[in-house]
């Protein structure tokens, strides 16, 4: 047996973990805080903008690489789930008294569908206007452009199919009481009263808010539910145009016979879609990239 001693294995975490708080770091930082105190400080530091950007960009790369069939079914699920925003808002509207404060309460129901979609990790088109665009902005190429358009096309079409099915179910009158049915129609008619130009501009604002929501989630931690509720509540309270949630309302009007298919497409779908894309991609994504480009 050799008389040489075996080298003591080194714990790689002591040398490779950049966040490890060692005695050497305490001396270098010139602080009187204890090691435990500095660990608490590190844990409470907010994510830098460049870190948030990279998290969302990598999520975008993962979404771009998913198989079309997975995107399709996830998109249909999101189109169905978002319909519960209309249901929850309508049920609150039907049960609340006709008072000046009622919109402050019934608009909270609008957040329900978004909570389901986001927490269930379903594919919603307006979320993808940011996550899918960041890889394209970071590395512009025809390949990335083609992948982004493919993702958008599949997810948007699937969302519309899901919204269509949900609206058809609502129009049947089989699931909810007449008072709730009347509330669903009232909400839908209120949205469609906007002119196409208003749909477009309010779509820009809604796209920006959804992109902001996506940007906030990596830093929200245990407060993600509150962030989702607050941001989507703002969309409802400001009467903005979200192309997927609004499609459930507009399709309901079509099935009820209030408007035609051409009116639903020209009066809502196209202007809201264009606005959401501009607000979430052309404005928010480009500004976000400009903010972090020197740090990545």
pLDDT digits (tens, 9 = 90+) for 24-55: 554 555 566 666 655 655 555 567 777 787 88
pTM of the predicted structure, to 2 decimals: 0.81
Q: Is 105 exposed, middle or buried (0-12, 13-18, 19+ CB in 10 A)?
A: middle
CB distance 268 to 246 below 8 Å: yes
pLDDT of residue 64: 84
Q: How far apart are CA 51 and CA 66, in angstroms?
A: 23
Class of domain 49-292 as given by CATH = mainly alpha
Domain boundaries, the chain: 13-44, 49-292
Helix (H, G, I), strand (E, B) or coil at 28: helix
Dump pLDDT digits (tens) for 253-277.
999 999 999 999 999 999 999 999 9
Helix (H, G, I), strand (E, B) or coil at 145: helix
Q: Is 290 exposed, middle or buried (0-12, 13-18, 19+ CB in 10 A)?
A: exposed
């Amino acid at each position: 047996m050799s008389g040489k001693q075996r080298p003591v294995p080194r714990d790689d975490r002591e040398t490779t973990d950049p966040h490890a708080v060692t005695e050497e770091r305490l001396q270098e930082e010139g602080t009187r805080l204890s090691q435990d105190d500095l660990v608490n400080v590190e844990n409470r530091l907010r994510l830098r903008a460049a870190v948030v950007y990279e998290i969302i960009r990598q999520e975008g790369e993962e979404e771009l690489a998913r198989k079309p069939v997975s995107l399709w079914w996830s998109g249909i699920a999101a189109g169905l789930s978002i319909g519960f925003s209309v249901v929850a808002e309508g049920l609150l509207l039907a049960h609340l008294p006709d008072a000046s404060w009622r919109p402050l309460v019934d608009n909270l129901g609008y957040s329900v569908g978004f909570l389901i979609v986001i927490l269930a990790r379903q594919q919603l088109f307006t979320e993808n206007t940011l996550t899918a665009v960041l890889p394209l902005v970071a590395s512009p190429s025809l390949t990335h452009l083609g992948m982004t358009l493919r993702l958008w096309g599949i997810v948007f079409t699937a969302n519309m199919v899901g919204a269509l099915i949900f609206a058809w179910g609502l129009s049947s009158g089989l699931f909810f009481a007449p008072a709730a049915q009347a509330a669903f129609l009232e909400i839908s008619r209120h949205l469609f009263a906007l002119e196409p130009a208003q749909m477009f501009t309010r779509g820009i604002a809604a796209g920006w808010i959804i992109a902001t929501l996506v940007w906030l989630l990596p830093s929200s931690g245990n407060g993600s539910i509150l962030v989702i509720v607050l941001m989507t509540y703002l969309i409802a309270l400001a009467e903005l145009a979200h192309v997927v949630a609004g499609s459930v309302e507009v399709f309901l009007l079509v099935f009820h016979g209030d408007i035609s298919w051409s009116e639903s497409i020209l009066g809502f779908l196209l202007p809201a879609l264009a606005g959401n894309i501009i607000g979430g991609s052309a404005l928010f994504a480009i500004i976000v990239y400009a903010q972090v480009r020197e740090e990545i």
